């Protein structure tokens, strides 16, 4: 079964809009795990507009599934994750002012940076994944930088899915196969939702994990968090409708 990691950034966005501690990010993470999520994802940004660095420290003692921390490898970010030691760090090539992740790494141009960063993370026993698009060369060269996994950037899939399901998923299936042949694990994330997730999981081989935040937290406003997590899990295990 493909694992579901819930990105709780949007919980923090709501909290920060009003100040105080409602909703409680730590409680939300605990509840997500209790409701069946197999991981918790956060993406602290330099301006701390949603997840704060202190949140990451507060979450570490309560995440008993898999803690996945995403981010651009600044020195501040690396100091944080090597202190916290999550199960996985997912490196993304976002500039500090990016609204959301919108591109994958160029593993040729950034080979030296990624190699050095990943070596540091591995020295602390942290599994690494890098955010990447479906270009087979970029994926094959990802193995050269020492990463354990890739995370496929799925916004192009989500955008094309309503009009051409097969065409939307085809490059991701090929990319996943290329990653597997290169000895890399395969994660995926960005704009996956209840409409497109099942088809993606059924048609992309070797898929280990999906990270979903915006759509899942939005659905929880309508369906409740516990029910929503179960709906997403059903998309991944092939049971239910």
Q: What is the pLDDT of residues 1-13, one digit of tens each?
A: 899 999 999 999 9
pLDDT per residue as tens digits for the range 86-130: 999 999 997 666 555 567 999 999 999 999 999 999 999 999 999
Per-residue pLDDT reduced to its tens digit, 158-183: 999 999 999 999 999 999 999 999 99
pLDDT at 94: 79
3-state secondary structure of 145: helix
Average pLDDT of the residues in 134-162: 97
Q: State the catalytic residue, choosing from 66, 70, 151, 209.
A: 70
CA atoms of 13 and 79, how far apart (whole Å): 24
Tell me how far apart the alpha carbons of residues 110 and 108 are, in angstroms, rounded to a whole number: 6
234 closest CA partner among 197, 186, 192, 203: 197
* CATH number for position 185: 3.20.20.70
pLDDT of residue 102: 63
Domain ranges, residue 95:
3-237
User: Taking a C-beta distance cutoff of 8 angstroms, is the pair 120, 79 a contact?
Assistant: no
Could you give the CA distance from residue 235 to residue 196 in angstroms, rounded to a whole number?
A: 9
Q: From the candidates 50, 151, 190, 209, which is the catalytic residue?
A: 190
Cβ-contact 188, 204 below 8 angstroms: yes
Residue 170's Cβ-count burial label (10 Å; 0-12, 13-18, 19+) is middle
Closest Cα partner for 118 from 159, 73, 161, 163? 73
CB contact at 8 A, 141 and 108:
yes
124 noted as active-site residue: no
Q: What is the pLDDT of residue 190?
A: 96
How much is the pLDDT for 227? 98
What integer pLDDT is reported at residue 1 of this predicted model?
87
Beta strand ranges found along the chain (DSSP E) = 3-7, 39-42, 67-71, 88-91, 127-132, 149-153, 185-189, 207-212
Number of folded domains that form the chain: 1
SS3 assignment, position 40 = strand
pLDDT at 238: 59
Q: Per residue in 173-226, pLDDT tens?
A: 999 999 999 999 999 999 999 999 999 999 999 999 999 999 999 999 999 999
Of 163, 157, 168, 228, the closest CA to residue 194 belongs to 228
Question: Residue 130 gets which letter from DSSP?
Answer: E
Write down the catalytic residue from 43, 50, 66, 151.
43
> Per-residue confidence at 239, pLDDT binned at 50, 70, 90?
very low
Does the pLDDT of residue 54 top 90, yes or no? yes
Q: What is the mean pLDDT of residues 235-241?
A: 64
Report percent pLDDT > 70 for the chain.
95
Which distant-in-sequence residues (6+ apart) come within 8 Å of 241 by Cβ? 234
pLDDT confidence of residue 103: 77
- Residue 190 falls in the annotated catalytic set: yes
Sign of the four-CA dihedral 60, 62, 65, 70: negative
How far apart are alpha carbons 223 and 97 in whole angstroms?
32
Q: Which of 169, 163, 173, 226 is nearest to 192 (CA)?
A: 169
């Amino acid at each position: 079964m493909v694992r579901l990691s819930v990105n709780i950034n949007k919980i923090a966005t709501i909290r920060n809009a009003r100040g105080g501690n409602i909703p409680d990010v730590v409680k939300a993470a605990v509840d997500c795990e209790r409701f069946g999520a197999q991981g918790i994802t956060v993406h602290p940004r330099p301006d701390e507009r949603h997840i704060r660095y202190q949140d990451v420290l507060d979450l570490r003692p309560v995440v008993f599934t898999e803690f996945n921390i995403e981010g651009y490898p600044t020195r501040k970010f690396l100091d944080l994750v090597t202190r916290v030691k999550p199960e996985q760090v997912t490196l993304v090539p976002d500039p500090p002012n990016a609204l959301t992740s919108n591109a994958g790494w160029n593993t040729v141009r950034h080979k030296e940076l990624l190699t050095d960063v990943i070596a540091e993370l591995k020295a602390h026993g942290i599994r690494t994944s890098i955010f990447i698009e479906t270009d087979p060369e970029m994926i094959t060269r990802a193995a050269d930088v020492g990463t354990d996994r890739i995370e496929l950037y799925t916004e192009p899939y989500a955008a094309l899915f309503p009009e051409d399901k097969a065409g939307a998923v085809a490059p991701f299936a090929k990319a996943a196969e290329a990653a597997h042949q290169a000895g890399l694990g395969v994660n995926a994330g960005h704009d996956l939702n209840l409409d497109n997730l099942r088809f993606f999981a059924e048609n992309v081989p070797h898929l280990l994990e999906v990270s979903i935040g915006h759509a899942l937290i939005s659905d929880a406003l309508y369906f409740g968090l516990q029910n929503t997590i179960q709906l997403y899990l059903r998309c991944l295990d092939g049971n239910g409708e």
